[in-house]
Structure formats: structure tokens, C-alpha cells
Amino acid sequence: MTDERRHPEPISILQNFAPGTGVIFRHYAFPDRADLAQKIAKVCRQKKLPLLIAGDIALAKEVGADGVHFPKWAFPGDKVLPALNPNWIFIASAHNIQAIRRAEKFGADGILLAPVFATKSHPDRVTLGVSGFVKLATATTLPVYALGGISHENLKELPALKNFAGYAGISIFEKQS
């Protein structure tokens, strides 16, 4: 996940990603968001990195992204997500069971469960912890990704669940820059 405060210029980090590593472009308030998104999309295509644009369907179309990530505040109401573009990947953020049910109802392809651990991005948020993550992850059949304070060390604390698809983060990738 990109973060405009911690990594205003994320392209150098992406250069080190292995093919298949996904990128969620956020940079919500970046002055020239569309231009940066185009640059990131180019790198993602070259490196075969799936690209999701956070909270902006129009920008995802414009840059030829592989899909859209919907933070809680950007979920598109009552739209059935695959109808927006049947070829896109749709990932929704979830912090509770209600958000999981909404993602299921409207056709999300996966869920980012957050925050699992304490995070620099949202230091005031109550965390799910391992038990909360497991409780929510096992309440759905959708693929789930852990998000929030993920490190190489605490990632080992998460059990191998049937639908655990991976993790997302910012700090965990900082060492690659």
C-alpha cells in the first residue's frame, strides 16, 4: 500500500517487488495523483504487478488498473462491484463483521482485515489482534489479507487459515527501499 506521508515517491520501492506482488495506490491528497498513478501503473505493467487504485473508480479506469480497493469511506453504496468492471479485482477494507457482510453482499473478491496490529498509519485505532483477526477471517469464505502493523516477525503469529490469502502493508516493505 502506498502512503503519501511516509513514502511520497513510492516508485523506488516498487522497483524491488517480485512479480505478482500487488500494489494498492492510495496517495489520496497527493497534488498530482493522476500523474503519479500513471507512472506507477507503467512500472506495475513492466514488472507484472497487479495494481489496485484505492477509492477512485475513474482513476482506475484512466490508468488501466487491475481493480479497485475500497476503504470503508469509499465503498460505492449499493453497487454490485463486478458490474463496475467484470475483469477487475475488488478488495474491500473491513474492521468488523458488518463490513465483511457488505463486501460479500456486493461481490468483493477479497477483504483487507485491519488493523491486526498497532500501526503507524492509524496509531489511535484499536487493533484486532491475532484472535480478532482469526474470528473475522473465519466468518467469511472470501480471501482475507492481514493489514495493519504487519512485520516479518508478527506475520508468523497469524495461523494458516483456509482463506488467508496474504498480507498488505507499508512498513513491511520499507526495508526493500
Q: Is the pLDDT of residue 66 over 70?
A: yes
Q: Is the pLDDT of residue 44 over 70?
A: yes
Residue carrying the nine cell digits 495493519: 148
Could you tell me which CATH number the domain at 11-174 has?
3.20.20.70
Q: What are phi and psi of 57, to 5 degrees?
A: -65, -45
pLDDT in tens, 86-137: 999 999 999 999 999 999 999 999 999 999 999 877 778 899 999 999 999 9
Task: Share the mean pLDDT of the chain.
Answer: 91
Q: Specify the length of the chain in residues.
A: 177
Distance CA(74)–CA(76), nearest Å, equals 6
Residue carrying the nine cell digits 516493505: 173
Give the confidence band of 173 by pLDDT, cuts at 50, 70, 90: confident
Distance CA(61)–CA(118), nearest Å, equals 33
How many of the other CB atoms lie within 10 Å of CB of 112?
28
pLDDT in tens, 46-62: 999 999 999 999 999 99
- In this predicted structure, what is the pLDDT of residue 162? 92
Cis amide bond preceding 143, omega within 30: no
Give the confidence band of 16 by pLDDT, cuts at 50, 70, 90: confident
Of 8-17, 31-40, 106-115, give the lowest mean pLDDT range. Answer: 8-17
- In this predicted structure, what is the pLDDT of residue 74? 86
Note the pTM of the prediction, 2 decimals: 0.91
Domain boundaries, the chain: 11-174
Is residue 107 classed exposed, middle or buried when 0-12, 13-18 and 19+ CB atoms within 10 A define those classes? middle
Distance CA(103)–CA(30), nearest Å, equals 27
CB 145 within 8 A of CB 168: yes
Q: Is the pLDDT of residue 163 over 50?
A: yes
